[in-house]
Amino acid sequence: MQRLAVLAVVLTTAISAHASPRHLITVADRDSDDQIVVVNAAGTNAGQVARIHRALDQRGMLFHLSEPLEATLEGRNTLLSDLDLIKNAYASADYDTALKIIDEDEKRLLTHGGSDVPTSLSLFEGWRGLIAAAQNKDDDSLRYFRAAIRFNPAWAIDKKLPSPRVRSIILNARREVSETGTLRTDIEPEHATVTIDGNEQKSAGEKIRLPVGFHLVQITAEGKKTYAEIVDIADGKSDKIETSLVPEGQLDKAAKLVDEVVAAPPGARLEHARALSKLTGSNRILLVEGAGEDHVNVRLYDISLKKVSKTFSLDGNSSSAAIASEIKSAFDDHGGETPLIDHDPGDGQHDEQRWYNRWYVWVGAAAILGGIYLTYHYETRDPTSLKGF
């Protein structure tokens, strides 16, 4: 029995050595690793994302990138100030100025790409619809409103802006037309993928039948810059896009990585976020997944610690200090109402399993316990023979 107790202590000590928990490193333990990259995967709510950016920056928690890369990751290809300028020009009936801003921003969006392209373009098409309606071009207004809804089914207009006539046009725009035309693509490389209005994917070279009107066409391929164009499909007619994709640059790669992180299922989030971390040089990522009128939904990633949080909400009415404090608390595992960062299930199954899930730990434990049992059984069994006979 004494030997049994000794072996049990050995087993307990060995397991305890493996079981020492991996604690989250606090700001005091790390140098620049506590700085955070902000990524707006929702493609909207630029104002609230800007508040998060400002709150982190004021407290030295923001990981600074080049302005073009920051703008791409934070969804600022559509500038909030430009939308305000468009609104002001529309209110002043200066439609030429409003349309000039829209043309320039649409060109920039189609050139730089990103996860926010369909959503942002829907905003511009909505403004085009309002301007056309103000100029009594109801047919054009209908086409623009229909495009806004195709690019983003959740698109809605400020209730204070439209007249009853415009609201009627928008209601009609939500009814898809029956007339169709076709789109053909001749793309290099041949394995490229064609995405229509942000959701329908086709293989390059395939004949695509579409309802008449405006459609957003995005063409992608591995390692290539995304090509984007708005096409106008006519009834019974065939349109064609012919282009060769060029190698992707840093901004193109960043936009694609954001899309991949958002689309990644549980268990694969960290794998995709790791590529985004490598591109930016920051181990900590705050990913904006969506927002409402008074909140923004975020998910936090700490690549060095292989941790990812559940989605939680930041109160849009909170002060910058409160927002920064809640984010810091979540990353540093200080507890409180903010969800703590948890290991992403399924990520790194082979080399990142907890100590008690490793096969060799349990094999070793079984061997020790087996030895204990055999030793105990041998020493306590009934004698069957006498030594020396």
Domain of 287: which CATH number? Answer: 3.40.50
Count of domains forming the chain: 4
Beta bridge partners of 301: 285, 308
Tell me what the pLDDT averaged over the chain comes to.
Answer: 79
CATH number for the domain harbouring residue 149 = 1.25.40
Long-range contacts of 54-58 (CB under 8 A, 24+ apart): 54/320, 55/320, 55/321, 55/323, 55/324, 55/327, 56/286, 56/324, 56/327, 58/320, 58/324
Mean pLDDT of 2-12: 39
The CA-to-CA distance between both ends of the chain, in Å, stands at: 28
State which residues form the domain around 11.
2-22+358-380
pLDDT, tens digit (0-9, with 9 covering 90-100), for 208-265: 999 999 999 999 998 899 999 999 999 999 999 999 999 988 888 888 888 888 888 8
Final residue of a structural domain among 226, 248, 270: 248
Tell whether 234 and 258 lie within a shared domain: no
- Residue 350: phi and psi, rounded to 5, are -85, -40
| 300 domain residue, yes or no | yes
pLDDT computed for residue 213 by the predictor:
98
Mean pLDDT of 137-158: 95
Tokens at 68, concatenated: 């073009």
pLDDT computed for residue 236 by the predictor:
95
| 342 domain residue, yes or no | no
pLDDT, tens digit (0-9, with 9 covering 90-100), for 337-373: 555 566 665 544 433 344 334 434 444 545 544 554 4
pTM, two decimals, is 0.64
